């Protein structure tokens, strides 16, 4: 009895591993077919614009608001710490570097996964469960090209832009708190920032980070929707998976990217 259950456990473990590899393979093929190859029907640009609107423009509000508050909090915290060492002019440099290198790309990607990623998964999952995807196939339209590809591209394009806007708004919020409220001299605030922030090392590396996150988050979101069980439970599970997997992937990748970019080895 006991032996059998052990064997059973090993079988289940093996099955989980095979399932995982199968999902990875399916998602890779899915991405390849959606992005590479001949375009299906015309009007791809119109579809992309529509998705850019719902994925990018509609996420703008939450990005701007949270960016501003994060910048303001950074300036407040940084000021209270730095003022102990008498170097409160460095608050601009601290806010800018924190936002550009870490918080801009990471927080934007996390918010994006919650705001746009879950919506993408639920939308595509609902299309699947109401058999819209199979009807598209029926009339000879490839759903990968018609449904998945514009959403993937919209995500790739809009997340880096959102991250840049997040950083700018955050720095503006930080400067508002530091200069207008806490009374840091604005000349040294901006000069310190400009001296320590380098365009190629900090700004471009931050943008590269957010491009990587955009790729991963959108891929996970669209694939989970496309691959979900076509039931209401399946959709809810897929949406949860999107947010959890995307967040974990963002944080893990962020560590690796930071080590590669700023680790000096």
Partner 1 sequence: MQNRTLEIGVGMFLLAGILALILLALRVSGLSTSAANDTYKLYAYFDNIAGLTVRAKVTMAGVTVGKVTAIDLDRDNFTGRVTMQVDKKVNNLPVDSTASILTAGLLGEKYIGLSVGGDDKLLTDGGTIHDTQSSLVLEDLIGKFLLNTVNKDAK
Given the rule CB under 8 A, which residues bind partner 1? 46, 49-50, 52-53, 56-57, 60, 85-87, 90, 96, 100, 158, 160-162, 164-165, 167-168, 171, 190-191, 193-195, 197-199, 202-203, 207
Output the DSSP codes for 185-223.
-HHHHHHHHHHH--IIIIIHHHHHHHHHHHHHHHHHHHH
Cβ closest to partner 1, residue 30 vs residue 189: 189
In terms of CB distance, is 108 or 242 closer to partner 1? Answer: 108
Decide whether 88 or 227 has the Cβ nearer to partner 1.
Answer: 88
Angle at 220 between CA 56 and CA 107, to 5 degrees: 55
Q: Please report how close the Cβ of residue 251 comes to partner 1 at its closest, in angstroms.
A: 24
CB of 46 to partner 1, least distance (A): 8
- In the complex with partner 1, the residue whose CB is nearer, 172 or 255, is 172
Least Å distance between CB 234 and partner 1?
Answer: 31
Cβ pair 125, 228 in contact under 8 A: yes
Structure-block tokens of residue 161:
């832009």
Distance CA 197, CA 235 (A): 44
Return the ∠ at Cα 238 (arms to 102 and 254), rounded to 5°: 15
* 79 contact partners, CB below 8 Å, separation of at least 6: 88, 91, 177, 178, 182, 184
Cβ contacts of 14 within 8 Å, gap of 6 or more:
none
**In terms of CB distance, is 99 or 212 closer to partner 1?**
99
Query: In 10 A of CB 129, how many CB atoms?
Result: 16
* Residue number with CB closer to partner 1 (80 or 194): 194
Least gap, CB of 159 to partner 1 (angstroms): 10
- When the beta carbons of 85 and 265 are compared against partner 1, the nearer one is 85
Measured CA to CA, the distance from residue 195 to residue 136 in angstroms comes to 56
* Nearest-angstrom CA–CA distance, 10 and 4: 10
In the complex with partner 1, which residue's Cβ is closer, 87 or 130?
A: 87
Half-sphere exposure of 87 (CA within 13 A, CB side): 6
The b-or-e profile of 235-264 (16+ CB within 10 A means b, else e) is bebbbebbbebbbebbeebbeebeeebeee
Q: What minimum distance in Å lies between the beta carbon of 154 and partner 1? A: 9
* Nearest Cα to Cα of residue 252 among 106, 111, 99: 106
């Amino acid at each position: 009895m006991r032996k059998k259950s052990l064997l059973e456990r090993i079988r289940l473990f093996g099955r989980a591993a095979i399932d995982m590899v199968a999902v990875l393979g399916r998602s890779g093929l899915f991405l390849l077919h959606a992005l590479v190859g001949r375009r299906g029907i015309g009007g791809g640009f119109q579809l992309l614009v529509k998705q850019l609107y719902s994925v990018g423009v509609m996420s703008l509000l939450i990005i701007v608001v949270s960016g501003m508050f994060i910048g303001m909090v950074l300036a407040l915290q940084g000021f209270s710490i730095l003022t102990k060492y008498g170097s409160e002019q460095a608050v601009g440099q601290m806010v800018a570097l924190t936002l550009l290198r870490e918080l801009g790309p990471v927080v934007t990607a996390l918010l994006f996964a919650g705001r746009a990623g879950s919506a993408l998964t639920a939308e595509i999952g609902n299309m699947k469960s109401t058999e819209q995807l199979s009807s598209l196939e029926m009339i000879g339209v490839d759903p990968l090209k018609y449904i998945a590809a514009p959403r993937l591209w919209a995500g790739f394009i809009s997340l880096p832009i959102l991250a840049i806007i997040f950083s700018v708004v955050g720095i503006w919020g930080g400067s508002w708190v530091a200069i207008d409220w806490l009374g840091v001299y604005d000349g040294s605030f901006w000069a310190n920032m400009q001296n320590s922030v380098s365009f190629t090392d900090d700004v471009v590396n931050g943008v590269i980070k957010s491009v990587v996150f955009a790729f991963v988050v959108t891929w996970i979101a669209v694939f989970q929707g496309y691959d979900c069980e076509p039931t209401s439970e399946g959709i809810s599970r897929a949406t949860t998976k999107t947010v959890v997997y995307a967040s974990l992937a963002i944080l893990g990748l962020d560590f690796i990217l930071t080590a590669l970019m700023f680790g000096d080895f």
